[in-house]
Amino acid sequence: MNKLLKEYLRQNQYRSFDLKAVIFDMDGVLYDSMPAHDKSWQQTMDELNLQHIPYEFYLQEGRIGKSTINAVFQRNLQRDATEEEEQRIYARKSELFQQYNSGATMPGAKEVLDYVSKNGLKPVLVTGSGQPSLLNRLDTHFPGVFTPETMVTAFDVVHGKPHPEPFLMGLEKGGNLQPNQAIVIENAPLGIEAAVGAGIFTIAVNTGPLPDSVLTNAGAAIVFHSMTDLLGAIPEIIHLTKSIIV
């Protein structure tokens, strides 16, 4: 870990970290919701007789809904969806998601958030989701952790992941921070690409079916296989950010 943190500092031309915030993705990091997203997207596209590739919606995770729909439309119909089609398709996907989603949180997620907060760091949420059924549950499952002022959702951005805009906005909401003042916890390749594009040290938690290599190829510095595994490592990571100088 020491080596990975130093490599980040050198590559990004920082002498040290000045950690103020930890930026969390939501689906697949805080909530075990990706299987429901995947199932609801697949069923929606099947109902429209639009073909999708294996693990497509894990690979597309993090995009705003419009971008995911257009990716499938371009492959099948060689055009973008109309605004009416986008609204209708996303409404159907959202309806199915509410049926399939259990609302379960990721084991270890609350404990990681608690550790971050107790060590004086600000938790910030950056998600591509626009699902009210999840966003409205955050304060129930993680009371007092996030506020609208520390959340970036699909409603806030023009460019969703993999564009760096969501994480650049996350830095602003963390307190107008520089990239070396935060770290990112992500599970999706497009989210990792966005966070790395924003210049932030990025940790992957692989809670889905994709190979670790997909996440490291997207730019993740290290991959854990659960939030519980990350919980065991987060004290060392935070300690090292306070002491490493290059």
194-235 pLDDT per residue, tens: 999 999 999 999 999 999 999 999 999 999 999 999 999 999
Mean pLDDT of 5-25: 97
CB 27 within 8 A of CB 34: yes
Band of pLDDT at residue 132, cut at 50, 70 and 90: low
> With a threshold of 0.75, does the pTM exceed it?
yes
Q: What DSSP string describes the chain?
A: -HHHHHHHHHHTT-SB----EEEE-SBTTTB--HHHHHHHHHHHHHHTT----TTHHHHSTTS-HHHHHHHHHHHHHSSPPPHHHHHHHHHHHHHHHHHH---PBPTTHHHHHHHHHHTTPEEEEE-----HHHHTTHHHHSTTT--GGGEE-TTT-SS-TTSSHHHHHHHHHTTS--GGGEEEEE-SHHHHHHHHHTT-EEEEE--SSS-HHHHHHTT-SEEESSHHHHHHHHHHHHHHHHH-B-
19-40 pLDDT per residue, tens: 999 999 999 999 999 999 999 9
74-98 pLDDT per residue, tens: 999 999 999 999 999 999 999 999 8
